[in-house]
Amino acid sequence: MIREAYACWVREPGAAEIRPVSLPAPGPDEVLVRASYSGVSRGTETLVFAGRVPTDQYAAMRAPFQEGDFPGPVKYGYLSVGVVEQGPPNLLGRTVFCLHPHQSAYVVPVTAVVPVPEGVPAARAVLAGTVETAINALWDAAPLVGDRVTVIGAGMVGCCVAALLARFPGVQVELVDPDARRAGVAGALGVDFASPADARGDRDLVVHASATAAGLQQSLDLLAPEGTVIELSWYGDRPVQVSLGGSFHSGRLTVRSSQVGMVAPARRGRRSYADRLALALDLLDDPAFDALITGASRFAELPDVLARLSSGDLPALCHLITYDDGE
């Protein structure tokens, strides 16, 4: 039985390290999971790594099974896939997804893991937490058949939203990003691509996921009268300024926030967190999502990966972390 594991901790802003962790014996309602892969959620995790979580958001930003607190030392992360090595017979040997920090093995309640469907590769399953965010955003947005929709920001979240929107009948989806390399990702997802200068206007709905003030301003500027912006960006401690003059009032425009911490009001009471996560895993039975995994590193390299992602030296959508011997 695994007695010791290894976890990645942000020791202080800008510095991470691998630490040993002693594991308890799993109880009757718990499972022991050996990690196979985890994914780095670049936007949120680089803010955590850089120590840019606002003090008034410490409680709201806590991840499941997080240890420590912001700005550090803190053990953070929430995209983990592994194999159940101890637990109930129906889960033993199954590949599961868990909202757990980067760690080579862990013991969690049975209710914290969701089996990965047979058709979904374990490496792709790390995207489940991000697809879950996209599902919640679209529950908030409620796009209609034939809508003209723009997604601004071709990061993990924006690309997952675009991928799901591509499945809506008659919906015209344009993914907007200043990085021309994202055009290939957009093509793999089955949506159009444009630079900010070439983005089409008169949109019924804009989903904003660039985490920039310029992106939010353009989201408003692209709307048709009575259109809606779904704001998915999280800015950490950065102030955001937009102009609410011009057509904001006369066009009766709407800006609506969305985030994964609560089930969207339109589904609250009818869908649980577990339902939403299971749906995300089902939707990942589509090889188009493989375009979002843009690199891989061994677990031992994760502290350096976080530093390179934070500095911009390592461009990535989802960077995959692989586990072998746990070190």
- Give the alpha-carbon dihedral of 234, 197, 250, 204, to 10 degrees: -70
The residues with which 22 forms a beta bridge, in sequence order, are: 4
Helix (H) or strand (E) segment spanning residue 138 = helix 128-141
User: Which band of pLDDT confidence, cut at 50, 70 and 90, is reported for residue 325?
Assistant: low
Pairing of strands 15-22, 4-12: antiparallel
pTM of the predicted model as reported, rounded to 2 decimal places: 0.92
Which whole number is the average pLDDT over 166-192?
97
Residue with tokens 């010791």: 4
Query: Is 213's pLDDT higher than 90?
Result: yes
pLDDT of amino acid 1:
62
pLDDT at 259: 85
pLDDT in tens, 105-149: 999 999 999 999 999 999 999 999 999 999 999 999 999 999 999
In the predicted model, what is the mean pLDDT of residues 78-97?
97
Q: What's the mean pLDDT in 46-51? A: 94
Burial of 78 (0-12, 13-18, 19+ CB in 10 A): buried
High-pLDDT (> 70) share of the chain, %: 98
Q: What is the pLDDT of residue 128?
A: 97
Give the tens place of pLDDT for each residue, 220-229: 999 999 999 9
* Burial class of residue 246, CB neighbours in 10 A (0-12, 13-18, 19+): exposed
| Cis peptide leading into residue 71 (ω within 30°) | yes
Residue 227 has what pLDDT?
97
pLDDT surpasses 70 at 327: no
286, burial (CB in 10 Å: exposed 0-12, middle 13-18, buried 19+): middle
Using CB atoms within 10 A of its CB, is residue 282 exposed (0-12), middle (13-18) or buried (19+)? middle
- Kindly report which listed range (104-118, 227-241, 281-295) carries the lowest average pLDDT score: 227-241
Measured between alpha carbons, how far is 55 from 90 in angstroms, rounded to an integer?
Answer: 42
Residue 318 has pLDDT above 70, yes or no: yes
